Amino acid sequence: MAKVPVVAKTVIVPFILITSLFALWGFANDITNPMVSAFKKVLELDNFKASLVQMAFYGGYFTMALPAAIFVNKYSYKKGVLLGLALYAIGALLFYPAAEFEAFGFFLAALYILTFGLAFLETTANPYILSMGAEETATQRLNLAQAFNPMGALGGLIVAQKFILGSLQSDDLNADGTSVFETLNEASKSVIRTADLQVIRNPYVLLGVVVIGFFILIAMMKMPQNKEQETKVSVVGSIKRLFSSKKFVWGVIAQAFYVGAQIMCWTYLYQYAESIGIDNQSAVTYGISALVIFLTGRWVGTALLKYINSGRLLFYFSIGALICTLTTIFVPGMIGLYALVGISFFMSIMFPTIYGIALEGQGEDAKFGAAFLVMAIVGGALMPTLQGLILDMGGVGYTDIKILGVPEVNFSFILPASCFLIIGYYGIMVYKKNF
């Protein structure tokens, strides 16, 4: 019996082009994560207000995912990708006027529109990759494509470290470790604020130009069509069929908690590091390490999926993530930080594996199933905001009070720990075929 290829030679070029989009939205995700801390300092915000960066970013996914699926159902995967790239570019370019007006709300609006584009791309690209070959290799194919997402994310973090955080004057410290910016008068702060917001602006504007380049390239390329998955289907009928499947419904729930856990671990890594005396620019090194470990885990996990049932592997990785998170909470100092970085290895396979399991066998309903799985990314908007509220319990610092004997920044990771329990439950139920 001939071995079924993960990616057929006939679609290799379109596969590479669509896979490149995974890196493109990974870049946007991880250049934005450190911006929570950056905006907090530049605009002198509390933790809750700063967390609205993630609310705007991931809220855009929730808003636009279902409209994206409806658009793709009416037109095609290719047109969905092109509209996504157009919205992505517009949102990125809006950082220019946002910096000119020096308005936090304008920045949030730009991020919100940018993620309209990302919602289109994720709603379209994920099922598009699944459709580029046999169904039995679909989860492997999606894990392969998703492996390029952390490569883009790594690029985003490096740009954030070298070209943004390293250049922010509002992050400068005195010899005793206290903030210089906080001691200045309002006129001096205004000059620094203007300069720092321009520093934040420039990489996003350049990103918008790069996205326009991808738009032109894909517009010119002939892309494959999967007649089964690009068939026009009834929206209402499709949604009814999807929500009659426990495996799909629980997949959406698991995905929401996974994205919430990922964004909390990657966003508040900087606050955790700062609580033990590591400045933001230096903390990016740990963020980069987390992404390298995440990428390693993705390749290892993709290989293991050839031998281990996807539900079972998801359960094993959830337990590993839970152990690391509990270490982050209850073992203070560098060991806790190393454990926080290590969580990324176990998170690596979760998104594509949950995605692949939930959409397995959905056929023509996959495009709408994809929309609900992308809407589940709203977990990345809501849960970091809850973590920000925990951090504000004792004040704007990160070690103002102790909860269960540990500083509030440590305790706040009880939220991702809870998420990993739910993901583990989904994995074991799928493995036991209870869903």
CA 188 – CA 430 distance, rounded (Å): 58
CA 226 – CA 210 distance, rounded (Å): 28
- How far is CA 108 from its chain centroid? 17
Residue 306: per-residue pLDDT: 83
Share of the chain above pLDDT 70, in %: 97
What does the pLDDT look like over 215-266, one tens digit per residue? 999 998 887 765 555 556 778 888 899 999 999 999 999 999 999 999 999 9
- 402 three-state secondary structure: strand
- Between the two ends of the chain, the Cα-to-Cα distance in Å is 31
Average pLDDT, the chain: 88
3-state per-residue secondary structure call for 215-252: HHHHHHCCCCCCCCCCCCCCHHHHHHHHCCCHHHHHHH
Query: pLDDT category, 387, cuts 50, 70, 90?
Result: very high
What does the pLDDT look like over 19-44, one tens digit per residue? 999 999 989 988 987 888 889 889 98
**pLDDT at residue 75 greater than cutoff 60:** yes
**pLDDT at residue 98 greater than cutoff 80:** yes
Query: pLDDT category, 184, cuts 50, 70, 90?
Result: confident
Query: pLDDT category, 151, cuts 50, 70, 90?
Result: confident
CA atoms within 13 A on the CB side of 48: 7
What does the pLDDT look like over 404-434, one tens digit per residue? 899 999 999 999 999 999 999 999 999 988 7
State the chain's maximal CA–CA distance in angstroms. 76
Query: pLDDT category, 177, cuts 50, 70, 90?
Result: low
**pLDDT at residue 69 greater than cutoff 80:** yes
CA 352 – CA 171 distance, rounded (Å): 36
Q: Which helix (H) or strand (E) holds 131?
A: helix 104-131
